[in-house]
Amino acid sequence: MPSRRKFIQYLSSSACAASLTLWPQRSPATNLSPLGFEGLAHGTDRHHHLPPGYSAQVLLRWGDLLSGEESDWHPRSMDAEEQNRRFGYNNDFVAFMPLPLGSMGSDHGLLCVNHEYTNPTFMWPGLNRITIHGAMTRERTAIEMAAVGHSVVEIARHDGKWSVVDGGYNRRITADTLVKLSGPAAGSPRLQTRADPQGRTCRGVLNPCSGGKTPWGTVLMAEENFNFVFHGAATDPAEQRNHQRYGVGSRSAYRWWSRHFPRFDLGHEPREANRFGWVVELDPHTPGSNPVKRTALGRFKHEAATVVLNPDGRVVVYTADDQAFEYLYRFVSSGVYAPNDRASNTHLLDDGTLFVARLHNDNTLQWLPLRHGEGPLTNANGFRDQADVLIETRRAADLLGATKLDRPEDVETNPRDGLVYALLTNNQSRHADALDAANPRSRNTFGHILRLRPPGAPGDVVEHAADSFDWEIFALAGNPAEPSQNARYPGTTGDGGWFAAPDNCAFDPAGRLWIASDQGRNWRATGFADGLWGCAANAAGEYDFRRFFRAPVGAEVCGPEFTADGRNLFLAIQHPGVDGLVGSSYDNPATRWPDFDAELPPRPSLLVVTRDDGGVIGD
């Protein structure tokens, strides 16, 4: 049971503590290389910034050609067919998959990139909130559908410069791509539509945000805010309740999709929305292979899907539901990974158990299984089978009493020591009467980071599939010099080293943590642009936080992804000139990054960062 006394002790001690004291470092594996770069100051302007001695190459921009003959490209004249063979919009997740398959090379590979959503007011001139509804024709909507999803892009490095290779791998996954449904919910009547009476294939990957990589060389795309494109209402009360829990039909920011393509109209096709909100596996090494929605991993607004192997070979996937007061999940496969048998690994994510986290105030964590027939997940509560539990994952987790978190986003495990980091972006809606030890601030504007400790961590043999973990707060984001923010870090932050709204993160090959931020329209609360921060611990476990990258105004920073040699860092810069900038648009943008061409709007683009002397990034 949660210990009320311990929680009160926690609150009273945290109120006066200047910095956080973490678990003692018990393994030499956590002694990391120190940061060797000069941290950037905070600020905001039209450009991106890196420390002295580092440079960024703009590798891919929205509209860049991936395959076929080059033609004159311009947003004003592009059609959906053109968009289908060009880099998509709002790049988020980035995976570098070395070629050949199974190698650890850092000079040649497949870049696998999610395209989360579109910003029509920056894709076409003359649009604003009023005119947009009339201006979004069927053809423009088809371009949006072709601009979201995923890009597989072969890239290679020669003489220090990266370039796109058109060698047969390059392709786009869009909102129209044929995708298989697999796992326990595939074939459920609740996934059946006019176009797919079997409930086993659907069209498209919608709003893939972050994702993950599997040890067998596939990538996972996490479908997040799929509700935005559906409009209308179902007539069946059970589906109405289901759609309401996911915000489907009520917050349609793209309602022209349902006007031009009836499958997005819930009145016409009430179960189409149940075919989105899944983790989707793609084999980028096999051109033409269909993506597969792995329903065993549940249906919600998945932020990411981070894969780690348990010591017994079972596959563990951490994934979070990115909305205020939603949950942290973990999938554990039934089968075990076979290093020398790629084909046998392709169904590992179809059979296993999905768990949701309950974080007790005494700093223990319990993983609660979402199994049909157990506890409240029965017919009496409207769950006829496991498919129902997975389609309505959120309601199942509500009934199990999971812990409501402050917008959980990326989750990563440190490969050096097995500790698990869960980034919580913010939650302005949390009130003082709803605090708990894992969500200790009301009106949480700046977000925080939880660190989970599976049995065995920090160490070499870490039981990621165990029923119980410990947890602690790694950082409470915000300005530590401003007492009212109650921000705390486990070490030093300097002038530019503190951050807000942690969203994505990654570990470099040395085991240092890199945190990317997405303040959204709230960035004026700090007054600075989003970015990327490096943090490294010394032998005493004290961290040094430094700002490494500053994004152009209105953009968030996604990826980050390192090559295995630590010498290349991919950053996906999403929606430059957009967030929190009233009046900024195609015609009069707050920045024209990265082209700074008066004829072009700002473009979401992918950067590759290197050190000018070719050294390891961060050293």
Contact mark string toward ligand FEO, 135..154, x via CB under 6 A:
--------------------
Q: What does the alpha-carbon distance between residue 94 and residue 604 come to, in Å, rounded to a whole number? A: 13
Q: Which residue has the tokens 């996490």?
A: 222
Find which of Ca ion, ligand FEO, none residue 170 binds, CB within 5 to 8 Å per kind: none
- Exactly one of 64, 154, 176, 224 binds ligand FEO (CB under 6 A); that residue is 224
Rounded to the nearest 10 degrees, the angle between the axes of helix 237-245 and helix 393-400 is: 80
Sequence-separated (6 or more) residues with CB below 8 Å from residue 273? 226, 227, 230, 243, 246, 248, 249, 266
Q: What does the alpha-carbon distance between residue 35 and residue 551 come to, in Å, rounded to a whole number? A: 20
Of residues 30 and 323, the one with the C-beta less far from ligand FEO: 323
**Do 593 and 46 meet the contact criterion of CB atoms below 8 Å apart?**
yes
Number of shown-chain residues binding ligand FEO (CB under 6 A)? 6
CB of 615 to ligand FEO, least distance (A): 32
- Exactly one of 80, 110, 112, 116 binds ligand FEO (CB under 6 A); that residue is 116
What SS3 state is found at 182?
Answer: strand
Of residues 179 and 209, the one with the C-beta less far from Ca ion: 209
Q: Which residue has the tokens 């929205």?
A: 62
* Residue 527 structure tokens: 């007054």
Instruction: Put residue 382 in one of left, alpha, beta given phi > 0 → left and psi -120 to 50 → alpha.
Output: left
Residue type, 449: I
Of residues 151 and 426, the one with the C-beta less far from Ca ion: 426
Of residues 154 and 409, the one with the C-beta less far from Ca ion: 409
CB of 398 to ligand FEO, least distance (A): 20
Enumerate residues 517-546 that contact Ca ion by CB under 5 A.
518
Q: What does the alpha-carbon distance between residue 438 and residue 35 come to, in Å, rounded to a whole number? A: 29
Of residues 377 and 532, the one with the C-beta less far from Ca ion: 532
User: Per-residue DSSP letters for 132-164?
Assistant: HHHH--HHHHHHHHHHSEEEEEEEEEETTEEEE
- What stretch of H or E contains 556? strand 556-562
CA dist 381 to 372, 376, 384, 405, Å? 11, 7, 9, 24
CB of 224 to ligand FEO, least distance (A): 5
Of residues 439 and 504, the one with the C-beta less far from Ca ion: 504
Q: What does the alpha-carbon distance between residue 209 and residue 207 come to, in Å, rounded to a whole number? A: 6
CB of 575 to Ca ion, least distance (A): 11
Q: What does the alpha-carbon distance between residue 605 and residue 575 come to, in Å, rounded to a whole number? A: 9
Find which of Ca ion, ligand FEO, none residue 410 binds, CB within 5 to 8 Å per kind: Ca ion
Give phi and psi for 167, each to the nearest 5. -115, 20
Find which of Ca ion, ligand FEO, none residue 544 binds, CB within 5 to 8 Å per kind: none
- Exactly one of 223, 350, 410, 417 binds Ca ion (CB under 5 A); that residue is 410
Of residues 301 and 451, the one with the C-beta less far from ligand FEO: 301
Of residues 64 and 224, the one with the C-beta less far from ligand FEO: 224
CB atoms within 10 A of CB 4: 10
CB of 322 to ligand FEO, least distance (A): 4
412 binds ligand FEO (CB under 6 A): no
Contact mark string toward ligand FEO, 199..218, x via CB under 6 A:
----------x---------
Of residues 409 and 530, the one with the C-beta less far from ligand FEO: 409
* Residue 548 structure tokens: 């490494």
- What stretch of H or E contains 342? helix 342-345
Q: What does the alpha-carbon distance between residue 607 and residue 610 come to, in Å, rounded to a whole number? A: 10
Enumerate residues 422-441 that contact ligand FEO by CB under 6 A.
none
Find which of Ca ion, ligand FEO, none residue 224 binds, CB within 5 to 8 Å per kind: ligand FEO
* Residue 168 structure tokens: 């047969």
DSSP state at residue 599? T
Of residues 114 and 170, the one with the C-beta less far from Ca ion: 114
| 117: nearest Cα among 80, 81, 149 | 149
Tell me whether strands 408-413 and 219-223 are parallel, antiparallel or unpaired.
unpaired
- Exactly one of 154, 269, 321, 409 binds ligand FEO (CB under 6 A); that residue is 409
Beta strands in 250-351 (DSSP E): 279-282, 292-294, 306-309, 314-320, 324-326, 328-336
CB of 409 to ligand FEO, least distance (A): 5
Q: Which residue has the tokens 């988020």?
A: 92
Of residues 116 and 269, the one with the C-beta less far from ligand FEO: 116
CB of 255 to ligand FEO, least distance (A): 20
Enumerate residues 294-333 that contact ligand FEO by CB under 6 A.
303, 322
CB of 425 to ligand FEO, least distance (A): 7
Q: What does the alpha-carbon distance between residue 275 and residue 299 come to, in Å, rounded to a whole number? A: 9
Which stretches of 162-255 are DSSP H helices? Answer: 237-245
| 39: nearest Cα among 514, 496, 531, 507 | 496
Of residues 303 and 530, the one with the C-beta less far from ligand FEO: 303
Contact mark string toward Ca ion, 493..522, x via CB under 5 A:
----------xx-x-----------x----
User: Per-residue DSSP letters for 158-205?
Assistant: ETTEEEEE-SS--EEE-TTSEEEEESTTTT-GGG--SS-TTSSEEE--
Of residues 91 and 584, the one with the C-beta less far from ligand FEO: 91
CB of 400 to ligand FEO, least distance (A): 23
Find which of Ca ion, ligand FEO, none residue 84 binds, CB within 5 to 8 Å per kind: none
Enumerate residues 199-218 that contact Ca ion by CB under 5 A.
209
Tell me which residues touch ligand FEO (CB under 6 A): 116, 209, 224, 303, 322, 409
Tell me which residues touch Ca ion (CB under 5 A): 209, 409-410, 503-504, 506, 518
